[in-house]
Amino acid sequence: MKLIIDERRCKGCNLCTTVCPYNIFQEGRKLNERGIIVPILDRPERCTNCRLRKLYGRQLCGACQMICPDQAIYWVEEDPYSEESVVIEF
Ligand code: SF4
Ligand code: SF4
C-alpha cells in the first residue's frame, strides 16, 4: 500500500501532522498551483496501514484519514516498498 495526499482536495490545515504516531506528515514548505501548502510525507513506508493492511486484511490506524476534513488522504494498491527493509522509528 502507498500513502497518498490528494493535492486537489487538501487545504493545508495540517491536522494530519498532529496525529500520526510516526510523524510521517510534516508541514510543507511550497505553495502548489492552487496556492495551498500541502504537507509532505516523511518516509511514508513506515505507516502502519502501508505495512500491515495486506497482512490483516483491513485498514489499520487510519488516524490521519479520519482527522482530514477534506478526505484528501488515501492509500493505493501499490507495493513499492520492501517490507523487510523498513526500519521502524518513533
Ligand atoms: S494511518 Fe496512522 S501510521 Fe499511517 S500515516 Fe496515518 S496516522 Fe500515520
Ligand atoms: S488534514 Fe487533510 S486537508 Fe488538512 S493538511 Fe492534512 S491532508 Fe490536507
**pLDDT confidence of residue 77:** 84
Domains and CATH numbers, the chain: 2-78 (3.30.70.20)
Residue 87 has pLDDT above 70, yes or no: no
Atom of ligand 2 nearest to the CA of 25: 6
Distance, CA of 81 to CA of 40 (rounded, Å) = 18
Q: Which three cell numbers stand for residue 68?
A: 482530514
Specify the higher pLDDT residue, 67 or 77: 67
- Say if ligand 1 is within 6 A of residue 22 CB: yes
pTM, entire model: 0.85
Helix residue ranges, H only, 12-81: 48-56, 63-67
* 6-38 pLDDT, tens digit each: 999 999 999 999 999 999 999 999 999 999 999
The Cβ of residue 61 has, within 10 Å, a number of other Cβ atoms equal to: 17
